[in-house]
Amino acid sequence: MDGTDRTRPVVTYALIGSCFLLFAVGPASGLATGGSGAALRAAQDAWFGRWGVVPRELFGGGPRALVTPLTALFLHSTWLHLAGNLLFLFVFGDMVERRMGRLRFAVFYLATGYAAMLCYAASHPGSGETLVGASGAVSAVLGAFLRLFPRARVTSVFPFLLFLPLRFPAWAVLLFWLTLQWLAVRRDADGPGVAYLAHVAGFTLGFLAAWRQDRRARVTGPAPAPEGETPS
C-alpha cells in the first residue's frame, strides 16, 4: 500500500491483531496449552528463548539471532504487558499512520522497533535475559506523535490526580512519560529488568524519523493531516 487512502489505520490494526493472535496461541497466554506449573514455564522459556532477543547471543549468534529483534516485537510476556502496548498503539498509531501513510508507517514501526531492541542489547551485551515486546516500536510511535501533533490534546488519568480524566497537551503528557522512562533507566543502570532503555531509544528514534519526514514534506509541499483530540 502506498498510503494514498489514509482514512483507515490498516497497519495499526494489523499490528494489534498480530500481537494479540500470537500471544493467544503462544504459551504465555495459558490458552493454547494444557500444561501447568513447571511444564508451562518450560514451554514459555523455550518459546521466548527461540523468538525473543537474548543480548549475549545476538551479536555473533548467527543469522537466526539477527532475526529475533524483529520477531520479539510481536511477543509479550503477560496479558498486562500485551494490553499496555496495544492500548498505546491503538491510541497514538492511528494519527501517525494517517500522516505517514501505510507503507511508510509499517517500515517505520519495524525499523525503529528493531533498532530499539539493538540499543538495549548493546547496553547489556552479557545478559542472558530474554527481551520481548512491542514497547520499543510503540515508544517510537509516541515520539513520532509528539513531533507531528504536538498541539493535539489527550485525555489522561493520573493516580496523584485522583484518577480524574483530564485533558492535557500531547507534548506535556508524552514528555512526562519520557521523563519517567529516563529516570527508570538511571535507576536500573546496573542490570537488565524492564527494558526502559529500549523505550527511550525507540521514542528518540521515532521523534527523529518523524522530524526528518516532516521536514521533507514541507519541502515537497503535501498538506498535513489535521490535528485532533486523542483519548489516552
What is the spatial distance between Cα 133 and Cα 74, in angstroms, rounded to a whole number? 6
Residues forming beta bridges with residue 166, ordered by sequence position: 156
All three cell numbers of 14, joined, read: 494489523
C-beta of residue 75 within 8 angstroms of C-beta of residue 169 = no
Residue 127: half-sphere exposure toward Cβ, Cα within 13 Å: 22
Residues 6+ apart with CB under 8 A from 71: 51, 52
Specify the pLDDT at position 72: 95
Question: Is position 220 within any domain?
Answer: yes
Strands of 92-203 (E only): list them: 153-156, 166-169
CB 33 within 8 A of CB 102: no
Single-letter residue type at 88: F
Task: Classify residue 3: in a domain, yes or no.
Answer: no
Query: Which CATH number covers residue 125?
Result: 1.20.1540.10
Residue 180: the pLDDT is 85
The three cell numbers of residue 163 are 484518577
What's residue 181's pLDDT? 86
Q: What are phi and psi of 168, to 5 degrees?
A: -135, 155
| Domain-located, residue 90 | yes
- Residue 190: predicted pLDDT: 44
pLDDT at 157: 47
Whether residue 166 lies inside any domain: the answer is yes
| Full-model pTM | 0.82
- Per-10-residue mean pLDDT, the chain, length 232: 61 97 89 69 87 88 86 93 92 93 96 95 87 94 93 62 53 83 69 74 95 74 51 44
Q: Which of 86, 19, 75, 9 is nearest to 48 (CA)?
A: 75
Q: Which residues pair with 230 in a beta bridge?
A: 154
Is 198 part of a structural domain of the chain? yes
Residue 207's φ and ψ, nearest 5 degrees, are: -60, -45
Domain boundaries, position 53? 10-231
Q: Is 68 within the bounds of a domain?
A: yes
What is the percentage of the chain residues whose pLDDT exceeds 70? 78
How many domains, in total, are found in the chain?
Answer: 1
The per-residue pLDDT for range 83-132, each reduced to its tens digit, is: 999 999 998 999 999 999 999 999 999 999 999 999 999 988 888 889 99
